[in-house]
Amino acid sequence: MNDTENLPSHKEPEKALAAVVSLRLLADKLEKKAVNEAIKQGWSWTQVADSLGISKQAAHKKFASCIKK
Amino acid sequence: MISLFKRIKLRIKDTATLTQLCQMAEKYAKKRGEGEPGEEHFLLSALELPDGTAQRVFERLGVNEDQLEKAIDQQHIDALSYIGIDASDMSSVANENDDVGEHSNSPFKSKPSAQSLMKELVASRRSDKDIPLLGLHIIEVLSDKKLGIVSRAFEVLGLDQQSVKDAVSIELKNYKLSI
């Protein structure tokens, strides 16, 4: 993770920054889907929060409204 | 010159249009599985405004709403391919999401790209005070941007800045003639 040499090229900032925007979007979607699935599988909000490295309150605040019943 | 009374009426109408735009952009963001709306969701919302001007601009450019949405997905796919990620199924992730429902009652939040669009939109209205805020004004502001999701989506569609600006300008002229 500290080996920045192996990161994709940043020599073309326009392309690299566009990739960053899309990566964030992809990460958000994956996060939302995975949390949804975890809750469906019976995970507690504490488990979800621990996995994401955030507080239980933060996890609940961020994802509770997107949990599909 | 229009009267002060008419100008006040226009500004009230603009506020209603902006509210409508924000609600629709929020809905589009949710539909595409995203939290807060960005400039691209405002562009899609502009196409739904009842004045029909944004839709006519894109008709003039030979692009429909579906193609525009696909171009937005495609620019994400292209951007990720630059760093070696194959996200060709990203569009399916985008469309399978949530309950689109009514807009929430919580305070409106948007991405910085949408906040900047709003500021520029308000600034641009100062120079065109005699007509209401129209869908084409959103395209006009976004067509000035050389970077960002909308600019990349236009590139995917093969639209250059000038052709978009020209289509906006023709439609604006037609609108002014019709009132």
Chain-centroid distance, C-alpha A21: 13
User: Does B101 score more than 60 pLDDT?
Assistant: no
For the residues A33-49, what does the mean pLDDT come to?
95
**A residues 17-56 closer than 8 Å to B (CB):** 18-19, 21-23, 25-26, 28-29, 32-33
Q: What does the pLDDT look like over B132-169, one tens digit per residue?
A: 999 999 999 999 999 999 999 999 999 999 999 999 99
Per-residue confidence band for B33, with pLDDT thresholds at 50, 70 and 90: confident
Nearest to B83 among A8, A25, A33 (CB): A8
How confident is the model at residue A55, as a pLDDT?
95
Of B13, B51, B63, B25, which is closest to residue B164 (Cα–Cα)?
Answer: B63
Instruction: Copy the structure tokens of residue A68.
Output: 């599909």
Of B158, B97, B114, which is closest to residue A31 (Cα–Cα)?
Answer: B97
**Average pLDDT in chain A:** 87
Give me the long-range contacts of B102-109 (CB less than 8 A, separation at least 24): B103/B23, B103/B26, B103/B27, B104/A65, B104/B26, B108/B22, B108/B26, B109/B36
How confident is the model at residue A4, as a pLDDT?
61
Query: What whole-number distance in Å separates Cα of residue B22 and Cα of residue B44?
Result: 11
Per-residue confidence band for B71, with pLDDT thresholds at 50, 70 and 90: very high
Nearest to B80 among A19, A32, A33 (CB): A19
Q: Is B170 on the interface with A (CB under 8 A)?
A: no
Alpha-carbon distances of B79 from B26, B46, B88, B153, rounded to whole Å: 24, 25, 11, 11
CB-neighbour burial class of residue B119 (10 A; exposed 0-12, middle 13-18, buried 19+)? exposed
Query: Which pTM value belongs to this model?
Result: 0.84
User: Does A6 score more than 80 pLDDT?
Assistant: no
In terms of CA atoms, which chain A residue is nearest residue B78? A19
ipTM of the complex: 0.78
Query: What whole-number distance in Å separates Cα of residue B71 and Cα of residue B80?
Result: 14
Q: What angle in degrees, to the nearest 10, is found between the helix axes of B39-46 and B65-82?
A: 160
Per-residue confidence band for A3, with pLDDT thresholds at 50, 70 and 90: low
Instruction: Copy the structure tokens of residue B111.
Output: 């991405």
DSSP for residue B85: -
> Are the C-beta atoms of residues B131 and B171 closer than 8 Å to each other?
no
**B residues 59-118 closer than 8 Å to A (CB):** 75-80, 82-85, 87, 90, 93-94, 98-99, 104
Per-residue confidence band for B95, with pLDDT thresholds at 50, 70 and 90: very low
Nearest to A22 among B35, B76, B99 (CB): B76
> Are the C-beta atoms of residues B32 and B41 closer than 8 Å to each other?
yes
